[in-house]
Amino acid sequence: MLSEQLFSSICGPALAANTAVSKDVGIYGHSVTPSCAVKATFKKSSAPPHCLAVSDTHVFAAQDQKAHVHVYSRLGGTQEALVPFQERIRCLALAGDVLVLGTAEGRLILWETCTGRQVTTPPCHVQAVSCLAVAPHHVLSASDDSNINVWSLARLLELGADPGHQPDLALSNHRGAITDLVVGPSTNVETNLCVSASKDKTCILWNYQSGQVLRTLLVPAAPLCISLDPCARALFVGAEDGGLYLVELFGHKPLLGSRSAELASIVVQVDAPLGLADDAGSASCLALNYDGTTVFTGHTNGKILRWSLTDNGHPAEVANLNASVTNLVFVPLMPENKPCRTAMVVKPNQTQRQYTFTTQFDGHLDGTSKLSEMLSCTGIHSQALESAMLSLSAPASGEGDDSKLHKENEELRAIVAEQKAWQRATMQYREAGKT
């Protein structure tokens, strides 16, 4: 059976003299199903919130109060590289093979891990970039200045483009620092959904391409971490009061869509929490599994709790890492089927003059594309013949009884018939040779 894998990171000193927990380990790889157990560890890392990203081959971790990113190989289980930058890194996220970093100076840095190409924007925020979210075609950056910028990923990575361009859109309804930002799975322009959480005790649901505010949620305490379920039907919020809140977006009283009975400008009060972490304190990070039935929260006292939606809000402790848990990241159950993968990252180099792509081909390269089938066919491919015959049988534009066009059509039909006869003769010859 498929086993869900959860990566966690810690930051800060050990909380107790616990010899059962290694002091050097900073990142853990957990197997969640059928039982929760540590399967991999990575040493010498101290990643603050929003500073952990996991690909199918590597783990990227920005270091607390430093301008360094540690790169670990998942296959080897060791640190592969230490990548320095000119500014302190506050958050990072993966967009395919591109690592997006937000700095303390309010900039975005995009690093192509397969080529080493680095793109740096001017300061796009007044204060530090606090968190990032990646959509298939966009990058969203949120800041301590309470603003969210929406960037086109293609424009940022365009070769020869001026990195000084402005973001496509700015979202600025919050009145406090942004603490977390998530993006829904939809790629439709009309249903592009993102949710931002802020210290002003609100969560705002946006259409991040149009900039429209879809709904504002008022939480009893400042939300610290949020997550959408896999189908964007519900929002989970970990608040400063230690509560885990569940907001159904399309429940009995839908908050979004045409069935919503209230205007988008009406603020919705979030009241009762799904449950409370009694002795664990507030959650610093939150992750939802891929069937949307289990929530994992990481806490400053080192505990990782599992909340099952069928247990009436009573969490169960699955791990105690003896240091503040700062990040929880699920690895996709079925990785994207790509013809190549990053075997070893190429360190960023701003002075790079040549564009060199370094990758490892994965699987067979002799794909069964339409072009390869037509090239390997003896004679003319049947599909090409059918297309030619259909084009000949279509009514010609202009005058229908033009003698010149009729003559050309007859010549083409004769050529097609000759080719088909030659193809049949070739096949008969090959069959006779086999016998």
Chain Cα centroid distance, residue 376: 39
Average pLDDT (38-60) is: 94
Of 373, 378, 384, 388, the C-alpha closest to 426 is: 378
Tell me which residue has tokens 């966690």: 8
Coil vs helix vs strand at 156: helix
Residue 100 belongs to a domain? yes
Output the pLDDT for position 21. 72
Report the residue count for the chain. 435
Residue 353 belongs to a domain? no
pLDDT one-digit tens code per residue, 9-44: 999 888 888 766 777 899 999 998 778 889 999 999
Highest-confidence range of 112-126, 127-141, 361-375, by mean pLDDT?
A: 127-141
Residue 414 belongs to a domain? no
CB 175 within 8 A of CB 155: no
What average pLDDT does the structure give for the chain? 87
pLDDT above 90 for 234: yes
* pLDDT band per the 50, 70, 90 thresholds, residue 68: very high
Residue 378 belongs to a domain? no
Average pLDDT (218-239) is: 94
Compute φ and ψ for 409, nearest 5 degrees: -65, -40
Between residues 257 and 297, which one has the greater pLDDT? 297
CB 286 within 8 A of CB 225: yes
Bridge partners of 237, per DSSP, are: 226, 245
Tell me which residue has tokens 């890194």: 89
Average pLDDT (391-418) is: 73
pLDDT above 60 for 1: no
Compute φ and ψ for 155, nearest 5 degrees: -70, -40
Between residues 303 and 433, which one has the greater pLDDT? 303
Residue 49 to residue 303: CA distance in whole angstroms: 15
pLDDT above 90 for 377: no
Residue 241 belongs to a domain? yes
pLDDT above 60 for 401: no
Residue 168 belongs to a domain? yes
Find the CATH number of the domain harbouring 122. Answer: 2.130.10.10
Q: Percent of the chain, pLDDT > 90?
A: 51
CB 6 within 8 A of CB 328: yes
Tokens at 195, concatenated: 């949710």
Output the pLDDT for position 2. 66
Tokens at 272, concatenated: 């009762």
* pLDDT band per the 50, 70, 90 thresholds, residue 418: confident
CB 301 within 8 A of CB 261: no
Exposed e or buried b per residue across 182-211, where buried means at least 16 C-beta atoms within 10 angstroms of its C-beta: bbbeeeeeeebbbbbbbbbbbbbbbbbbee
Output the pLDDT for position 19. 64
pLDDT one-digit tens code per residue, 197-218: 999 999 999 999 999 999 999 9
Count of domains forming the chain: 1
Between residues 395 and 309, which one has the greater pLDDT? 309
User: H helices within 329-434, ranges in order?
Assistant: 370-376, 382-393, 403-434
Average pLDDT (379-383) is: 78
Coil vs helix vs strand at 422: helix
Output the pLDDT for position 356. 74
Domain that holds residue 92: 5-330
Between residues 393 and 282, which one has the greater pLDDT? 282
Residue 391 to residue 373: CA distance in whole angstroms: 21
